[in-house]
Amino acid sequence: MKKLSTILNVVLLVAVAVLYFLHFSSKEAENDSSETTTKNRIENATIVYVNSDSVVSNYDYIKDKQAELEDKTRKLDAEYKNRAQGLQAEFNNYQQNSSNLTMGQARAVEEDLLKKQQNLKLYEQSLMQELANDEAKIGQELFDQVSKIVADYGKKNNIHVVVKYNQGSDILYANEGMDITNDVIELLNADYKNGSSKINSDSTNVE
């Protein structure tokens, strides 16, 4: 779902933070060979990053909504094909029996078929718009969820800037110690699991 990935990228906008340079320069980094928690690794940092592609791939909410949208798309596609096949059958019948119709009757049938063809096109457009609206609403919900999780995480860990880091971003290098992607995914999935009934009731019905 490329559009959802784009929405997520908006949440994780690249920001420039230099106000805390003196804060960094006043402390020495400690070398510790033992395993450290993410909190320990970032306790003196104000800038961290999240790989948005990993979030999109591992956030259960997105997986569920993608499955629902795919199922709805299949159903709507089947409905559209049934209508299209019905219209094609009418057209074939007209061609086979046109010789038995008067000029007026033939003109009336042709006008009716043309109107049905136009209606079918409008129906197709309405289905596409419906799916686009569903995806847009899910994207907004995704934006709100990630924004909340990242903001809460930042406040609790004294983080001032969260940036997006993946292929295509403007960041060429980032220390792995500043990667909070797994933490964000865990928090998102936990929040979704605990409040899944509320999210599902408020989200777009794609049945």
**DSSP-derived secondary structure letter, 171:** -
CB-based contact 47:161 (threshold 8 Å): yes
Question: What local confidence, expressed as pLDDT, does residue 3 receive?
Answer: 54
- The per-residue pLDDT for range 125-168, each reduced to its tens digit, is 999 999 999 999 998 998 899 999 999 999 998 888 898 888 77
Question: What local confidence, expressed as pLDDT, does residue 185 receive?
Answer: 96
Question: What local confidence, expressed as pLDDT, does residue 44 receive?
Answer: 58
The pair phi, psi for residue 163, each rounded to 5°, is: -115, 160
Question: Is residue 202 packed enough to be buried (19+ CB in 10 Å), middle (13-18) or exposed (0-12)?
Answer: exposed
Q: How wide is the angle at C-alpha 185 spanned by C-alphas 145 and 36, nearest 5°?
A: 135
pLDDT by 10s per residue, the chain, length 207? 555 555 555 444 333 332 333 334 334 444 444 445 555 555 555 789 999 889 989 999 999 999 999 999 999 999 999 999 999 999 999 999 888 888 999 999 999 999 999 999 999 999 999 999 999 999 899 889 999 999 999 999 888 889 888 877 888 888 888 899 999 999 999 999 988 545 544 444 554
Q: Which residues lie below 8 Å from residue 120, measured CB to CB, with a gap of 6+?
A: 80, 83, 84, 87
